[in-house]
Amino acid sequence: MTRPATGGLLFLVFILAGCLAPMTQREAQGFAQKSLREYCSGAAPCHFVKAQKMAPGWLLDYESDAAKYGVMVRKNGGTQVSVWAKSANVTR
């Protein structure tokens, strides 16, 4: 194999390894924050509370003054936002 072909093959292997690597919490937070910005569109700012690694991806919890947000970030980068009003929390 010639040097240019070997270099190209190594470059391709590194690119594919990066694409196939599991999503990190930091990457999931990036997807979640973008999704929250689109979902809330100017509502009260929310801050990150916690993250949980689950089989389908990452579940990230955010909180604002009026609501709690759960963002499920799937392995492919797709997101689903769930919202709970803080006044709806009932303790028993």
**Is 31 inside a domain boundary?**
yes
- At 39 the pLDDT is 85
Q: Looking at the predicted structure, is the pLDDT value of residue 17 above 90?
A: no
Q: Which two tokens stand for residue 48?
A: 């990150």
Q: What percent of the chain has pLDDT over 90?
A: 42
For 61, the enclosing helix (H) or strand (E) is strand 57-63
Residue 22 in 3-state DSSP? Answer: coil
The number of distinct structural domains making up the chain is: 1
Q: Which domain holds residue 65?
A: 23-88
**Is 13 inside a domain boundary?**
no
pTM above 0.75, yes or no: no
Enumerate residues 6+ apart whose C-beta is below 8 A from 45: 64
What is the band of 6 on the pLDDT scale with cuts at 50, 70, 90? low
CATH of the domain at 43: 3.10.450
**If you average pLDDT over residues 12-40, what whole number do you get?**
79
- At 22 the pLDDT is 83
**Is 7 inside a domain boundary?**
no
pLDDT in tens, 45-56: 888 999 999 999
Q: Looking at the predicted structure, is the pLDDT value of residue 2 above 70?
A: no
pLDDT in tens, 54-86: 999 999 999 988 889 999 999 998 999 999 888
